[in-house]
Amino acid sequence: MDAKILIESFAEFARSKNVDRPTMIRILEDVFRAMIRKKFESDENFDVTINADKGDLEIFRIREIVDDNSEDIWDFDKISLSDARKIEPDFEIGEEVYEKVELEEFGRRAVQMARQTLIQRIKDLEKDILYNKYEEQVGEIISAEVYQILGREILLIDGEGNELILPKGEQIPKDRFRKGDTVKAIVHRVDMINGNPKVILSRTSPVFLERLFENEVPEVYDGLITIIKIVREPGERAKVAVESYDDRIDPVGACVGMKGSRIHAVVRELQNENIDVINYTDNLELYVSRALSPAKVSSISVNAETKRISVFLKPDQVSLAIGKGGHNIKLASRLVGYEIDVFRELNEYEEEDVDLMEFSDEIDSWIIDELKKTGLDTAKSVLALTKEDLTRRTELEEETIDEIFRILKTEFEQ
């Protein structure tokens, strides 16, 4: 393989991988200089000129002429006068000899290795380009096409044919994709594993929801509305705290849009995830009250030392505060950064009821905590439910529930 064919084939391969011309020339020169070092020990006195467009390669060995009896005659950058005059008879001591080196002088094996090295260098460069490209896009939304669905992940390809990964844990539970579908997700992270970049996407990250809001709500994109915090149970429920520094803008109204036009687009993308948009405030009690929406809170008690908040609600508001599967209260706790305990407000007819803490000598504290998480804080509120209701709302075993009923009933029988 002569130099022209080698360079042209490499240049064509490099262009197909979108490698720019200066980088292509640098790689070519690096590889040829490595060949020179292997054959001549050093490349310091060699001039390499490459024209990738024409496939031209010129390698010149530059040596200083010294006397035949000089001690420096064996230096790699020196040539004896007698040897120099074999090239050009009128050379003199002290002049420089430019001697052209043909590619064939390196041997067929060296040239074949150079070709393999060039291709490998481009492949390595391609990996670096892919890594750097997506490393800069971490946290940004991209669209990619599904081309293979596996048990633990979905493989996608971008517009340039690069492979991206959407793991099962980063998919919304209701997501159902088929080959050829276009998927929106954020670039979650880029891992380098054994020299190969792996681009991990996510549809469950709060950042994905934030980017969707930026796409649908111009005021968010322009910075007129700030998203303070997002918490999600992907596919089920999300809470978004927003704030506007312009009193003329209603941040919640702007995010929801006329008749919900803006937020509906986001909800559809998230497989009908229920999204609560609330006004952020520094007033913790007001913030908690808004976070527990749609439930209406009667009163709130904050314990800053234990980072716990006791919320009291009317009986018909307790289930709203807790939400389906406990999602509402869990998300509200994560949004405000406090553990929220829900208590049912007693009316005048329930004064004889007994707080569950009164039974702490007979019922383990972790069981009482489990009941309180579901809004059950008094004996009668527990007894008002059936065993099946308690089994469904808590993680308690049936034997434990039977014992709870026995203890509580005994109290009122007495």
Quickly list DSSP for 108-148. Answer: HHHHHHHHHHHHHHHHHHHHHHHHHHHHTTBT-EEEEEEEE
Q: What is the mean pLDDT of residues 153-170?
A: 93
226, 246, 280: which is the final residue of a domain?
280
Question: Over 50: is that where the pLDDT of 408 sits?
Answer: yes
Residue 268 vs residues 98, 174, 304: alpha-carbon distances, Å = 72, 11, 39
Long-range own/partner contacts, residues 92-95 (CB < 8 A, 24 or more apart): 92/65, 93/65, 93/66, 93/67, 94/64, 94/65, 95/64, 95/65
SS3 157: strand
- 346 in a structural domain: no
Q: With the CA atoms of 215, 219, 222 and 227 taken in that order, what torsion angle do they form, in degrees rounded to the nearest 10? A: -80
Together in a domain, 105 and 190: no
Question: Over 70: is that where the pLDDT of 99 sits?
Answer: yes
CB atoms near residue 103 (< 10 Å): 19
- 78 in a structural domain: yes
Percent of the chain with pLDDT over 90: 38
Residue 360 vs residues 87, 91, 111, 306, 357: alpha-carbon distances, Å = 105, 108, 84, 20, 5
Instruction: Give residue-wise pLDDT tens across range 2-48.
Output: 677 777 777 777 777 677 778 878 888 888 888 888 888 888 888 88
- 225 in a structural domain: yes
Contacts of 107 (CB under 8 A, 6+ apart): none
Residue 167 vs residues 6, 16, 160, 204, 268: alpha-carbon distances, Å = 42, 30, 21, 11, 21
Together in a domain, 66 and 181: no
- Cα–Cα distance between 317 and 295 in angstroms, integer? 5
- 36 in a structural domain: yes
Percent of the chain with pLDDT over 70: 96
Residue-range definition of the domain harbouring residue 105? 3-132
Together in a domain, 125 and 52: yes
pLDDT at position 414 is: 57
- Whether the CB-CB separation of 344 and 353 falls below 8 Å is answered with no
| Local structure of residue 66 (DSSP, 8 states) | E
Count of domains forming the chain: 3
Instruction: Give residue-wise pLDDT tens across range 190-221.
Output: 998 888 899 999 999 999 999 999 999 999 99
Together in a domain, 88 and 182: no
- 211 in a structural domain: yes
The helix/strand count (H/E) of the chain reads as: 15, 15
- 194 in a structural domain: yes
218, 252, 280: which is the final residue of a domain?
280
Together in a domain, 54 and 122: yes
The CATH number given to whatever domain includes residue 253 is 3.30.300.20
Together in a domain, 169 and 197: yes
Two tokens, residue 318? 């307790």
| Local structure of residue 186 (DSSP, 8 states) | E
pLDDT at position 284 is: 93
Together in a domain, 186 and 212: no
Together in a domain, 199 and 214: no
Question: Over 50: is that where the pLDDT of 349 sits?
Answer: no
- Whether the CB-CB separation of 269 and 212 falls below 8 Å is answered with yes
**pTM of the full predicted structure?**
0.67
Together in a domain, 87 and 141: no
| Local structure of residue 61 (DSSP, 8 states) | E
264, 280, 296: which is the final residue of a domain?
280
The CATH number given to whatever domain includes residue 111 is 3.30.1480
Together in a domain, 90 and 143: no
Two tokens, residue 153? 């992940």
The CATH number given to whatever domain includes residue 161 is 2.40.50.140
Together in a domain, 143 and 126: no
Together in a domain, 17 and 46: yes
- Cα–Cα distance between 117 and 16 in angstroms, integer? 17
- 361 in a structural domain: no
Phi-psi region of 94 (alpha: psi -120 to 50; beta: other; left: phi over 0): left
- 57 in a structural domain: yes
Question: Over 50: is that where the pLDDT of 84 sits?
Answer: yes
